[in-house]
Amino acid sequence: MGPYGAPQPHGNPHFFMGTTSGVPPTRVGPAVPSRRPRKRMPVARNTKTLSTKQPRAGKGAPITENVAPEKEESCQAKRSPSSPQGGPKKRSAFGDLTNAHKNQAVAGKKDGVKSAPRKAPRAPAAKNNEANLKKSLKKTPLTEESEESEKDPVPEEPVQAPVLEDIDKEQLGDPYANAQYAKDIFDYMREREEKFLLPDYMEKQVDISREMRAILVDWMVEVQENFELNHETLYLAVKLVDHYLVEVVSMKDKLQLIGSTAVLIASKFEEQCPPCVDDFLYICDDAYKREELVAMEKSILRTLNFDINIPIPYRFLRRFAKCARVNMETLTLARFLCEMTLQEYDYARERPSKLAASCLLLALTMKNLGGWTPTLEYYSGYRAQDLHPLVKRLNFLLTYQPCDKLKAVRTKYSHRLFFEVAKMTPLDMLKLEEKLKS
């Protein structure tokens, strides 16, 4: 079964690991039929912003359908949720605390005193001179500040402000978007990338090869598709496998157990309703017992010190696609490119943020949607020149697939649900070079 119960184009329901030469095949059970479809009703966001109260007397009813996002957002910011009527109300407590009204009254009295001397009787010359001196001293700093402000050069920040777009501004009123913390969250994930950089661990693995890892990831893609799991679950599960194999030397007969347990842990971390242990025992064709799966779960968590919030490229890709304001088809093409790299061991050592940015740049180039904008450069932290080598490698991977037997990703993205982006013709390397230079 494919995503959302769609039938798979390939017919053989059985999957075999260890198809490389010299490696005995290990039978893997049939792909699990699609579990009960979890119908997730889309949450109606910004429902509170639709005003249901009657318009005030003398004013027309507000139009909420055709209001621009910026105007609607400003209206939401002015409206106080604590007010029973929902309208803006001033809190008198702030005025009492700051003595704002008293200061205004005192200022009004002082202004009255200044205007009073016109009608007042003449004062002695000494007092008039002192008063004029005080007035001149008060006026002098103001004139100097005004002259200095006129002479100061125009700062550069207001000039650059229209170029850089605030991508979180539109969702400030959405309580489900975390727009206030989005930039801080991704800055934090960029810092965590340094901690989770993978070394070349295949050198110490005596019984596991790159081809076997690619076969395992190909099987994990089918598991994610049949269980209808989130894409974040798949990416995190692959990361858990890689980081576990960095610390532990494993045998090939335990590789499928590591992969299925990694999907179980990632499901508990990402999914609202993760599959149970029996589901993972079934997809392994009962090759492992429940005790072995639970023991492997403990081993992975203890090896990684329970720190499994590993940065994945899929999250960065969604963030960067929002900066570029691309449609769903272009984002799906970038997701296809990014998912193709999961099977390749050479791309496992790339930074997730850089890999996501390169996949998006290649998708933009293939769709002729322009290059790397200043907004993308600001939010991603990468210049276009920094991404060109990785973009060329991705285009080469898309053009020449290393193994024809690993077709799970291409078959998945050949479905019309994913806009059949896997059927797009890759760019010629020379043509790609010209577009990147331009």
Question: Structural domain boundaries of the chain?
Answer: 3-29+182-303, 313-437
Strand partners, 26: 17
Give, in order, the Cα–Cα distances in Å from 53 to each of 50, 62, 84: 9, 10, 11
Residues 282 and 333 sit within 8 Å (Cβ to Cβ): no
Dihedral angle, C-alpha 83, 89, 94, 95, nearest 10 °: -150
Inter-axis angle of helices 384-399 and 429-437, nearest 10:
160
| Token pair 């005003």 in the structure block, residue | 51
151-172 as b/e: b if 16+ CB within 10 A? eeeeeeeeeeeeeebebbebbe
The CATH number given to 313-437 is 1.10.472.10
Given this model, what pLDDT does residue 139 score? 46
Tokens of 316: 């960065």
Class of domain 3-29+182-303: mainly alpha
Tokens of 417: 């649900």
Strand partners, 16: 27
- Which residues are within 8 A (CB) of 231 and not within 5 positions of it... i.e. 6 or more apart? 224, 314, 335, 339
Given this model, what pLDDT does residue 126 score? 47
Tell me the Ramachandran region of residue 383: left when phi exceeds 0, alpha when psi lies from -120 to 50, beta otherwise: beta
Tokens of 325: 């304001």
Instruction: Measure the CA–CA gap between 329 and 373, rounded to whole angstroms.
Output: 19
pLDDT tens for the chain, residues 1 to 438:
444 444 444 444 444 444 444 444 444 444 444 444 444 444 444 444 444 444 444 444 444 444 444 443 344 333 334 333 443 333 333 334 344 444 444 445 444 444 444 544 444 444 455 555 455 444 444 444 444 444 555 555 554 444 688 888 877 777 767 888 899 999 999 999 999 999 999 999 999 999 999 999 999 999 999 999 999 999 999 999 999 999 999 999 999 999 999 999 999 999 999 999 999 999 999 999 999 999 999 999 999 999 999 999 999 999 999 999 999 999 999 999 999 999 999 999 999 999 999 999 999 999 999 889 999 999 999 999 999 999 999 999 999 876 678 899 999 999 999 999 999 999 999 999 999 998
Tokens of 74: 């400003």
Give, in order, the Cα–Cα distances in Å from 323 to each of 163, 313, 332, 338, 381: 12, 15, 15, 18, 12
In order, the DSSP letters of 64-121 are -SS--HHHHHHHHHHS-TTSSS-S----HHHHHHHTHHHHHHHHHHHHHHHHGGGTSP
Strands annotated E in 214-333? none
Instruction: Measure the CA–CA gap between 244 and 72, rounded to whole angstroms.
Output: 48
Residues 382 and 415 sit within 8 Å (Cβ to Cβ): no
Given this model, what pLDDT does residue 19 score? 43
Give the residue from 269, 274, 279 showing the smallest Cα distance to 301.
269
**What one-character DSSP code corresponds to residue 132?**
H
Instruction: Measure the CA–CA gap between 352 and 197, rounded to whole angstroms.
Output: 9
Residues 327 and 363 sit within 8 Å (Cβ to Cβ): no
Give the residue from 416, 420, 354 showing the smallest Cα distance to 388.
354
Instruction: Measure the CA–CA gap between 392 and 70, rounded to whole angstroms.
Output: 39
Give the residue from 422, 320, 419, 417 showing the smallest Cα distance to 376.
320
- Which residues are within 8 A (CB) of 57 and not within 5 positions of it... i.e. 6 or more apart? none
Residues 372 and 383 sit within 8 Å (Cβ to Cβ): yes
Give the residue from 402, 330, 339, 410 showing the smallest Cα distance to 366.
330
Residues 275 and 291 sit within 8 Å (Cβ to Cβ): no
Residues 290 and 328 sit within 8 Å (Cβ to Cβ): no
